[in-house]
Structure 1
């Protein structure tokens, strides 16, 4: 089989496992929240599509909020996200999340320093409350290197089917690469917790990144007949792992916590 055929076959088996997992989520009234963050063009949307493609839409939602309205700007920052949290028996995918305030907003000047500082102090407490209330929270960061991002941005600009993806932030992603890196690293340091770790995925190869993201979720959530399809649920540590503060501080081998050329 060709590499593409191998990918499609493994993806299908993993999606079968996801369907089985969702059935258990519905039957046992679980609440699953999966956050997708990362560099612009890193493959978040494509990964979410593969997660959700064969799931029951009545028990699953994809949340991609637009910029806040004037009313929402006057509310507690987390308020508009709270309305989107999973109901019993539901899986919710956040295509970006409250972590806009950790990276995008300070880089682009969309929040004040006081708002940023308040956010990084509050978010671990906020997530602790969600987890204590029974929500299962998984946080993904999709990582790519600067050259791969450049290639994908050019593709978006020249491909008429992808031009709708171009945003103000996208247009400045390359120029502000190192600023994004700084705030990304600060986000990991301030908001990584044992109960809500950051899971970092090397996304230069979109197809492998998608498979590993799905595999990680399936490996973390124990449901009946898990693995019955025969597909491996063991993640590849060369592609995906949780943030490690020791590596981040330079006490280990080449850091996995950022892009290959951060």
Structure 2
């Protein structure tokens, strides 16, 4: 580790790139096998879920590896069976879906902030393990990660966001409220684990005070839990460009080019 206790950047970037290469292999295996992979990312605000998702998906084909980050439910969705709006985002054969928060909103923010009733909350704790067992029984590969961050580190990250105009949008009123409800969220998370940490779909906790270490550990673990193999791809051979048939590009004066701002700032 470096002097500040974090994973050294050079080691991190080298291992990150290697793991991302393995994730590309995993994606090709999922496509070839017609597998369905769901990865749930949960945790406290500013725990590093978003950064981990970006690194996981960076080199994957967005046509087959989708990020599901659902907004607050509409009035119509709120009247549906709770899991209904999540079901439509589940993968088809050959697809990967990364849930940036998921149905566990009910056990976390909705419970703590009073956005659901006690009956709705108890019903969720009863139905969630059944729902996930059905997913796994149907062949879906379900992985659930909880990103754990200390209160000191969360406060530091919140302050950094508040001081950075490029990232201030990440601080919502709900994020600020979570500071004063730290223990409420802790109790809600503990209760959630008691009911939903099941053998068919266990929770995996990621220590995320060091974001680099958290990303590496999470990605390596995910790869270790899926029995993927290298998929032989057909060799690619670029064709030769055919001879010209007399085509000439139109004059630049006939088209609208964007101004050369790069040249202006380059001096």
TM-score by length of 1: 0.84
For 1:50, the equivalent position in structure 2 comes to 55
For 1:250, the equivalent position in structure 2 comes to none
Deviations 1:152-175 (A, max 9, x none): 111111111111211222011110
The answer as to 2:78 corresponding to 1:101 is: no
For 2:243, the equivalent position in structure 1 comes to none
Deviations 1:116-161 (A, max 9, x none): 0000000000000000111000000000110000011111111111
Asked if structure 1 preserves the Cα contact closer than 8 Å seen for 2:161 and 2:171, the reply is yes
Deviation at 1:27, TM superposition (A): 0.6
Look up the SS of the partner of 1:174 in the other structure: helix
Superposed counterparts of 1:113-124, under 5 Å: 113-124=118-129
Look up the SS of the partner of 1:58 in the other structure: coil
| Correspondence for 2:202 among 197, 202, 209 | 197
Look up the SS of the partner of 2:38 in the other structure: strand
For 2:252, the equivalent position in structure 1 comes to none
For 2:163, the equivalent position in structure 1 comes to 158
In 2, distance between residues paired with 1:165 and 1:109? 22
For 2:229, the equivalent position in structure 1 comes to 224
For 1:79, the equivalent position in structure 2 comes to 84
For 1:171, the equivalent position in structure 2 comes to 176
For 1:259, the equivalent position in structure 2 comes to none
Deviation at 1:225, TM superposition (A): 4.1
For 1:19, the equivalent position in structure 2 comes to 24
In 1, distance between residues paired with 2:214 and 2:55? 11
Asked if structure 1 preserves the Cα contact closer than 8 Å seen for 2:67 and 2:97, the reply is yes
Structure 2 gaps, min length 5: 3-7, 232-267
For 2:217, the equivalent position in structure 1 comes to 212
In 2, distance between residues paired with 1:156 and 1:77? 32
Deviations 1:193-246 (A, max 9, x none): 0110000010000000000010011000011149xxxxxxxxxxxxxxxxxxxx
| Correspondence for 2:66 among 51, 61, 65 | 61
Task: Count the aligned residue pairs.
Answer: 225
Look up the SS of the partner of 2:147 in the other structure: strand
In 2, distance between residues paired with 1:108 and 1:167? 14
